Amino acid sequence: MIEVQNLSVHFTTKSSKLFHKNLIRAVENVNLKIPENTIVGLVGESGCGKSTLGRAIVKLLPLASGEIFYKGQEITHFKDSEFLKYRKDLQIIFQDPYSSLNPRFTIYEILTEGLFTHFRLTSTEARKKVISALEQMNLKPDILERYPHEFSGGQRQRIAIARVLVLEPKFVVCDEITSALDVSNQAQVINLLKDYKDKSNLSLLFISHDLNLVSYLSDEIAVMYLGKIVEHAKREDIIKNPLHPYTKALYSNIFEINNFQKKREVLQGEIPGVIQKPSGCYFHTRCPIAKPICSQQAPPEKNLNGHKVACHFV
């Protein structure tokens, strides 16, 4: 469905030196395949480039290098006008439902803006589509004339999801869509999204820092560290048999509701900054099994029967 090859995204920031800029390699040489009707969870700690990767895939950020393929078609170099017809297929839902909905638009205007851009519809047809999308998200049609401020965070996030689903997208990036919500609201949003996905042929890139949530929801899980994907495999493989020491540490460090006695392997040290990344394998400064080679050479990506991992000692 979606495939990215060698994707890199760079940013520049001001540096303390005059006429000098820092280059931040936010995402580096990422290869990622997202099959049809699949949820790929993307996890990692803050600042590791999860959101940047998500935005780059739906062409909201300029790439430093790499290609994006959608259904085999290369879409990397399309101009905005050429890309327009693909835009409705490739969508994104943002983290904060307070800033992602225009406060001056009614819910009807919010939901139909995309519809009228991409489809030629009469207003009755549009209304029908919008109402059915709202029903998918467990919202009543009588909210159409109201404004975003009248709703709670959980309701707003469901409106934001309905706005995307009304376009019948094929691929959606969900960027921390439940982090601003309480668990009971989160549960509702996740259940509804899952139901919708099972009914339609939708693929999701589900970005989150919540390992419990991603592990529950995803079919495949990709783990990112400082701009690189260090491990990517099927859900069961990652949960039962994580190979990369970073993935192992993440899973050992999460707190689980039904497993209180577990031993936690606590990592030493802080997450390195993204401007001055460590040499070789980025994880070697905190890795419990690091050897001299780890600080000299970046590990190649290995593929063990579909379980992809980048570590010298796997």
Which candidate, 277, 214, 216, places its Cα nearest to that of 50?
A: 214
Which is closer to another protein, CB of 13 or CB of 123? 13
Q: How far is the CB of 255 from another protein (least distance, A)?
A: 4
Q: How far is the CB of 208 from another protein (least distance, A)?
A: 10
8 Å CB contact between 196 and 136: yes
> Which chain residues interact with another protein by CB under 8 A?
45-46, 152, 154-155, 182-184, 186-188, 190-191, 194, 209-213, 215-217, 235, 239, 249-260, 262, 264, 266-267, 270-271, 286
Which is closer to another protein, CB of 112 or CB of 155? 155
Q: How far is the CB of 247 from another protein (least distance, A)?
A: 11
- CA dihedral defined by 152, 158, 162, 163, rounded to 10 degrees? 50
8 Å CB contact between 251 and 242: yes
CA 95 to chain centre: 10
Rounded to 5 degrees, what are φ and ψ at 30?
Answer: -90, 130
The size of the chain, in residues, is: 314
Which is closer to another protein, CB of 235 or CB of 244? 235
CA distance 147 to 150: 6
Q: How far is the CB of 142 from another protein (least distance, A)?
A: 17
Q: Supply 52's token pair.
A: 């940047």
Which is closer to another protein, CB of 15 or CB of 253? 253
Secondary structure element (H or E) that encloses residue 230, with its range: strand 228-234
**Amino acid identity at 177:** I
Which is closer to another protein, CB of 235 or CB of 312? 235
Determine the Cα angle at 161 with ends 47 and 137, to 5°: 140
**Amino acid identity at 314:** V
Strand 73-74 versus strand 2-14 pairing type:
unpaired
Q: How far is the CB of 215 from another protein (least distance, A)?
A: 5
Residue 304, beta-bridge partner list: 307
CA 108 to chain centre: 27
Which is closer to another protein, CB of 62 or CB of 269? 269
Which is closer to another protein, CB of 94 or CB of 225? 225
Q: How far is the CB of 207 from another protein (least distance, A)?
A: 15
Q: How far is the CB of 51 from another protein (least distance, A)?
A: 14
Which is closer to another protein, CB of 58 or CB of 250? 250
CA distance 38 to 239: 17
Q: How far is the CB of 184 from another protein (least distance, A)?
A: 4
